[in-house]
Chain A
Amino acid sequence: MGRARLLSIARQGSGLRIRFDKLGIVIALLVAYGALGASFAVLKPNRIVQGEAKMILAALPAWAGWGLIVVLFLAAAASLFRTSSWLKLVAAFAALVTLALAIGSAASFLAPAGNTYARVSPASGFWLLLFAFMLLAADAITRLRPPPWMRVLFLVLTAGGVGAILLSGSWNGLSIMKEYAGRADVFWSEAGQHVRLALGSLIVAAAAGLPLGILCHRVAALRAGVLNTLNLIQTIPSIALFGILIGPLAWIAATVPGAAEIGIRGIGTAPAFVALFLYSLLPAVANTVVGLAGVPREANEAARGIGMTDRQRLFQIEFPMALPVILTGIRIVLVQNIGLATIAALIGGGGFGVFVFQGIGQTAMDLVLLGAVPTVALAFAAAVILDALIEMNSRVLIGARSA
């Protein structure tokens, strides 16, 4: 501590020495290589063959190419020095928006007019630049320590920006959007299915997991047994668990009257839903147990002292105090479910995985992207929103405690 302060005084003493940001140097190197050393876009004669890589100046009209390079280097320069984090955030956003518009115009510039087979996709340089500026944005946001509502606001603004670009049609020339245009209806129905699988299994798992967690907290004899069983389920690989459930569910559909009518079948949604539910139980139950165990003894004794019943104590004291930990469990489950739901496609359960596995099968990587990009975006948005919720709840709690 003392040494660090001495060093900073020494630095100030040395007058006008420019102070570089270490991460900024990494970002500037990434940007320099991404912009000048790697290709920006790939032009392919059709959707599955190898393409021809183009550098920025070859992928865009001259004015746009140079304009892009200038914006990228200005933003990289902003990252290089120790300046205000807001400035860096603005620079990162400006660079990201310019990149997004540039890749769209590269698509219309490169593809020969009237040729419907030619495909333009982003190449390694584009992804590298995207990564570099997202890193800059992440660093700036981390340093700003924005309150939860502001993080959600950033998310909404980003989503709005991407939505506006999508609606404006400036990405329509890109290969991934051509894959989308061919299957727009299927895309939205699979998107709905993906969300139903991930959210639906979460809701059922929370409805079952919270009472089970409370029971495990109250009855110590149950705890080890229940948690060990749920732990064992986690060791079964996801594709196997999805598969193993096909048998029992097919049997239920065939023997239990009425089961088939409500949609229980051996393949499809039912086994996927049950598998996601089983995976979700451990985080839900374990975090409820940990959260309840962390409630201070004095709080419980005070509640008993003023004559609260067990039920009142649970809902008014224990549950609110354990809520941040329980919400953390819910966050783990939701992010994990959004990812795992892609596997449901292997057993006919639908979801974004359909595009991923079709794409792998046809070696059409833009089709893989059509499934993977929304999945990642969905998981990321869920994580940001739930993190904000968790923080709000812990703040309320700290506020209540200190008051």
Chain B
Amino acid sequence: MRAWLPTILRGLLLLVLIAFLVTPGSFEPLLRPLVQPNAPAIYNQGSLLALTLLHLRTVFIATLVATVIAVLLAILVTRSFGAEFLQLSRSLVNIGQTFPPVAVLALAVPAVGFGEKPTLIALFLYGLLPIFENTLTGLTNLPRSVMEAARGAGMTDFQRLLQIELPLSLPVIVAGIRLSMVISLSTATIGSTVAAKTLGEVIIAGLQSNNLAFILQGGLIVGALAVLIYDGLSAAEAMLTRRAGST
């Protein structure tokens, strides 16, 4: 019975989130005490559902591109051709992490203008790091016996990569994607300071009009999305680990 409790809680969280996004008005009494008497308690400058979908779209696009590039880069530096880039790429990833998101966002604006594009660039850069690190960890910590066996069976380098190395590192790669997505979900809200359409709009509107209800609903929607996506990807990772273990 106790094992089911987290699953039930998450199901409830998902239901509440959907209910809030579809009919935000019905939650009005809950948020009413947080605002001044004549201020709106529910975000009224656009649809919360539409903003949530746009927020998710931005995060998904950035994570997808980051995943493709990071995995390709990690494959490249673990082949003998790119081996001399391995240490340098590690240092660069470390240096990249020291750039604050706000700075990346603001500095991308002169190059690509206001709106969604600077946000995508910042999310992409931040998304790269955890996925790259994890893919490297996965590809460089494969059991030696398996690799020897694959070589012994006469597999080419390319066959080994596709049939052995990538499938075995998949759980670690998914863990990297999970970390990257949770960071991106939160960072995307900062994108609204450069006019990207994300849930950050709700929070910033709240900050500007001193409306705690706005800040809270914007923040909680992002928090709920992060928890649900984190759990979903954790489940996927556990499934992949089981499958990798059974073969």
Nearest residue (CB) in B for A341 is B100
Say yes or no for A393: interface residue by CB 8 A criterion.
Answer: no
The A contact surface, by secondary structure, is helix
- Whether A286 is near chain B, meaning CB under 8 Å from some CB there, is no
- A338 CA / B226 CA spacing, docked (Å): 23
Name the residue in A21, A23, A142, A235 with the highest tally of chain B Cβ atoms < 10 Å from its Cβ: A235
Contact with A along B198-233 (1 / 0, CB 8 A): 011001101100101001101110110011001000
Interfacial chain B residues near A320, Cβ < 8 Å: none
Across the interface, which residues of A come within 8 angstroms of B212, CB to CB? 243-244, 246-247
Closest 5 CB pairs of A and B: A240-B219, A339-B100, A243-B215, A372-B103, A235-B226
Query: What are the residues of chain A within 8 A of B88 when measuring CB–CB?
Result: 23, 135, 138-139, 142
**Inter-chain contact total with CB atoms closer than 8 Å:** 148
Complex Cα gap A21–B210 (Å): 57
Q: How far in angstroms is the closest Cβ of chain B from A138?
A: 5
Q: Once the chains are docked, how many angstroms separate the CA of A160 from the CA of B127? A: 33
Q: Is B47 an interface residue (CB 8 A)?
A: no
| Size range of the chain A interface in the assembly | 35 or more
Q: Tell me how far the C-beta of B106 lies from the nearest C-beta in chain A, rounded to whole angstroms.
A: 4
* Cβ contact within 8 Å between A360 and B223: no
> Please, how many angstroms separate the alpha-carbon atoms of A368 and B193 in the complex?
13
Q: Which residue of A lies closest to B192 (CB)?
A: A239
The docked-state distance in angstroms from the alpha carbon of A392 to that of B89 is: 23
Q: Is B29 an interface residue (CB 8 A)?
A: no
Closest CB of chain A to B168's CB: distance in Å? 21
Complex formed: what's the CA distance from A246 to B227 in Å? 24
Stretch at the interface among A205-213, A257-265, A342-350: A342-350
Tell yes or no: A227 within 8 A of B by CB.
Answer: no
Pairwise interchain contact B215-A240, C-beta atoms closer than 8 A: yes
Say whether B101 faces chain A, with CB atoms less than 8 Å apart: yes
Q: Are B223 and A235 in contact (CB under 8 A)?
A: yes
CA distance A389 to B102 in the complex (A): 28
Question: Is the CB of B239 closer than 8 A to any CB of chain A?
Answer: no
Q: Check B207 against A239 for contact (C-beta < 8 Å).
A: yes
Taking CB as reference atom, which chain B residue is nearest A374?
B103
Q: When the two chains form their complex, are residues B106 and A244 in contact, meaning their CB atoms are under 8 A apart? A: no
B28 contacts the other chain (CB 8 A): no
B200 contacts A239, C-beta separation under 8 Å: yes
Q: Quick check: A357 and B193 within 8 Å, CB to CB?
A: yes
How far apart sit A236 and B237, CA to CA, in the bound complex (Å)? 23
